[in-house]
């Protein structure tokens, strides 16, 4: 069963933010997806979430951004390992919000609508460690060799309105 490692560089409270998801299989090799959030877009996200008066604002925004990072490289029966950036109740909320997003996206698809979501340190898990290295590299992706840039799917400033609306 393939495992998707997820890490972020930066924090939802301090932009710019880079979320990286990395998935490696024998058949398809490695696939990497990067979601980059600029300072300008971050302000829009905060305004949007404030206008709808969300509780657990940062956990919801984080869950939507993690979801947007994973979609595109996620397949049936994949497990998702996320770096331990979230502590205590935040971790519980992020897992719950991610589960709701997957259930909404894959309605009736029992193979994809309930992935295993685990929070694990990059020091312990090789998949999260790989995503951690790539999230640090993401800050200077333009300086990376073209071979690396071609392998990455890059999404800049994604729209999160639908995800936020779902998590109200």
Q: What is the pTM of this model?
A: 0.90
Task: Tell me which of 99 and 53 has the higher pLDDT.
Answer: 99
Q: Residue 50's pLDDT is what?
A: 76
Contact 29, 42 (CB under 8 A): no
Q: Residue 6's pLDDT is what?
A: 96
Cα(130)–Cα(164) distance, integer angstroms: 29
Q: Report the chain's mean pLDDT, rounded to a whole number.
A: 87
Pick the CATH number of 3-166 from 3.40.50, 3.30.465, 3.30.420, 3.30.70: 3.30.420
Strands (E), 12-151: 14-25, 29-37, 79-82, 116-119
Average the pLDDT over 17-46 and give the result.
Answer: 88
With cut-offs at 50, 70 and 90, classify the pLDDT of residue 80.
very high
**pLDDT of 149 higher than 70:** no
Give the residue among 17, 57, 38, 61 at the shortest CA–CA distance from 160: 61
Q: Looking up tokens 């897992």, which residue turns up?
A: 95
């Amino acid at each position: 069963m393939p495992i998707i490692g997820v890490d972020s560089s930066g924090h939802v409270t301090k932009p710019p933010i880079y979320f990286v998801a990395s998935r490696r299989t024998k058949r398809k090799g490695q696939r990497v997806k990067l979601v980059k959030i600029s300072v300008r877009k971050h302000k829009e996200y905060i305004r949007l979430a404030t206008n709808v008066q969300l509780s657990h604002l940062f956990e919801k925004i984080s869950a939507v951004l993690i979801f947007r990072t994973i979609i595109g490289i996620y397949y049936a029966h994949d497990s998702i390992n996320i770096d331990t950036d979230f502590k205590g109740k935040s971790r519980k909320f992020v897992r719950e919000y991610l589960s709701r997003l997957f259930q909404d996206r894959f309605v009736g698809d029992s193979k994809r609508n309930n992935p295993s979501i685990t929070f694990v340190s990059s020091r312990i898990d090789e998949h999260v460690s790989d995503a951690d290295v790539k999230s640090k590299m993401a800050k200077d992706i333009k300086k990376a060799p073209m071979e690396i840039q071609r392998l990455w799917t890059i999404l800049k400033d994604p729209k999160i309105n639908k995800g936020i609306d779902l998590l109200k």
